[in-house]
Structure 1
Amino acid sequence: MTIASERPDAILFDWDNTLVDSWLTIHAALVETFTQMDHEPWTLSETKDRVRQSLRDSFPGLFGDRWEEAAAIFYSAFERLHIENLVPMPQAGDMLERVQKVVPVLGVVSNKTGKYLRQEAQHLDWQCFFHELIGAGDASRDKPNAAPVDLFRKNNGLGKDSRIWYVGDSDIDMETAQNSGCIPVLIHIESANLDQIGANLPEITLSDCEELAGLVETL
């Protein structure tokens, strides 16, 4: 764990594979999409390595002019699967309950489509923890662009001088933090692909949700 010296004014979280384990659902929906679009499906390992951007940013590169057709297939599969397969990351709910007692503002900025993000939070009964959940399509641009974080700041009274942690599990989360003036916090360090982090180094690294809660409580 990297030691932090000051408690944040706010913590923003990534969602998929930071607070909930989404890989099997994302992979299954992608396999259906690739198969129906006559593409070779990715393996689960390839899905974990390659899924970073939002659908509207990634599908045009994968499917060209037919990307909207592919998006419709993906969303149909995802809507069928995502709630029944939803699994919180270990200790995530307990961490949120503990952290909200000492940090005044919590939120989510995710590349999951906004309506699905909020459906999942409601299903887990977690919406009470967050001031706002911003997903793909809710802002003018998606992560790693700063637009969704800027929207959260604007909607929730956070100035540019506010001390905000952005907590995520991947390189694009660290890039999002850097682009938006947040402190980058890399969680689930044992399963993170450190080769992809590049120049966007985290300031704080944590093993799991329990360690995050313990750190915040000691500041």
Structure 2
Amino acid sequence: MVVSTTMPRPKAVLFDWDNTLIDSWPCIHKAMNAALKAMDHPAWTFEETRARVGLSMRDAFPGLFGDRWEVARDVFYTAFRESHLDMLVPLDGAQIMLETLAERGIYLGVVSNKTGDFLREEADALGWTGLFGALVGAGDAMRDKPAPDPVLMALEPARMAPGPEVWFVGDTQVDLMCAKASGCTAILLRPAPPAPGEFIECPLTHHLSGCLDFIGLLPKG
């Protein structure tokens, strides 16, 4: 689904991590329900987890758990740490896509709301760390997505400023909001196309249903 045909050639591509490059929903769901149970909250269905998780923990947990949010955070971290590497599954075509972009000399980075240490552990486990100029996770910058701070940090190694020639690729509204806040070209990468009116406040430039479709989006030459 093309939303706009005006696509500047990218000098850099910044990716979200969870469910843009890897399938992390099963592990997130397991850890989230461990935290909810510890706080005497009702468990979430898998669909509720997908719909409600997007902000970083420091932005989301205080509103959900109040002044005990740090206790819930520790429970989540413990449950997540136990299994996140064992449950690590790249999305179809993700490695080919990243390697193709790197071969074309395009600067790559990650801007994620996953805790930075977990993010970098997962990139190491997949052998992807060397493909990226920076892997910026939650807590690494002064503010997390959708604020522009982690975008600025991710582009620092390239001495590059945000702008239309920086493509920001993600699967959620938080990603598109971050792209808008930083002035980058917003690309939605997920199987489902946008629902009518879904992204009115943070319009995207393009929707792609999978990683391999991304390669075809690149300008020729």
Q: Which residue of 2 aligns with 1:73?
A: 75
Q: Which residue of 1 aligns with 2:54?
A: 52
Q: Which residue of 2 aligns with 1:175?
A: 177
Q: Which residue of 2 aligns with 1:30?
A: 32
- Residues 88 and 208 (structure 1), Cα distance of their counterparts in 2 relative to 1, 3 Å cut: same
Residue 216 of structure 1 and its aligned partner are, at CA, apart by 1.6
Counterpart Cα distance in 2 of 1:147 and 1:194:
30
Q: Which residue of 2 aligns with 1:159?
A: 161
**Share of identical aligned residues, percent?**
44
- Residues 195 and 70 (structure 1), Cα distance of their counterparts in 2 relative to 1, 3 Å cut: farther
Verify the 8 A CA contact 1:18 1:187 in the aligned structure 2.
yes
Q: 2:137 aligns with which of 94, 114, 135?
A: 135
Verify the 8 A CA contact 1:95 1:213 in the aligned structure 2.
yes
Q: Which residue of 2 aligns with 1:106?
A: 108
Residue 193 of structure 1 and its aligned partner are, at CA, apart by 6.3
> What secondary structure, in the 3-state scheme, does the structure 1 residue paired with 2:192 have?
helix
Verify the 8 A CA contact 2:164 2:185 in the aligned structure 1.
no
- Residues 85 and 8 (structure 1), Cα distance of their counterparts in 2 relative to 1, 3 Å cut: same
Counterpart Cα distance in 1 of 2:195 and 2:53:
12
Verify the 8 A CA contact 1:169 1:188 in the aligned structure 2.
yes
- Residues 95 and 140 (structure 1), Cα distance of their counterparts in 2 relative to 1, 3 Å cut: same
Q: Please give the residue correspondences for 1:11-26 in structure 2 after superposition, counting only pairs within 5 Å.
A: 11-26=13-28
Verify the 8 A CA contact 2:163 2:182 in the aligned structure 1.
no
Residue 218 of structure 1 and its aligned partner are, at CA, apart by 2.8
- Per-residue deviation, residues 60-110 of structure 1 (Å, max 9, x unmatched): 001000000000000000000100001001110111111112242100000
Counterpart Cα distance in 2 of 1:11 and 1:139:
19
Q: Which residue of 1 aligns with 2:120?
A: 118
Gaps spanning 5+ residues in structure 1: where?
A: none
Residue 217 of structure 1 and its aligned partner are, at CA, apart by 5.7
> What secondary structure, in the 3-state scheme, does the structure 2 residue paired with 1:205 have?
strand
- Residues 193 and 129 (structure 1), Cα distance of their counterparts in 2 relative to 1, 3 Å cut: farther
- Residues 128 and 155 (structure 1), Cα distance of their counterparts in 2 relative to 1, 3 Å cut: closer
- Residues 162 and 4 (structure 1), Cα distance of their counterparts in 2 relative to 1, 3 Å cut: closer
Verify the 8 A CA contact 1:4 1:204 in the aligned structure 2.
no
Verify the 8 A CA contact 1:170 1:193 in the aligned structure 2.
no
- Residues 195 and 215 (structure 1), Cα distance of their counterparts in 2 relative to 1, 3 Å cut: same
Q: Which residue of 2 aligns with 1:63?
A: 65
Residue 33 of structure 1 and its aligned partner are, at CA, apart by 0.8
Verify the 8 A CA contact 1:99 1:217 in the aligned structure 2.
no
Verify the 8 A CA contact 1:14 1:109 in the aligned structure 2.
yes
Gaps spanning 5+ residues in structure 2: where?
A: none
AA in 1 matched with 2:199: I
- Residues 211 and 143 (structure 1), Cα distance of their counterparts in 2 relative to 1, 3 Å cut: same
Normalising by the residue count of structure 1, what TM-score does the alignment of the two structures yield?
0.94
Counterpart Cα distance in 1 of 2:56 and 2:163:
28
- Residues 192 and 18 (structure 1), Cα distance of their counterparts in 2 relative to 1, 3 Å cut: farther
Residue 151 of structure 1 and its aligned partner are, at CA, apart by 1.5
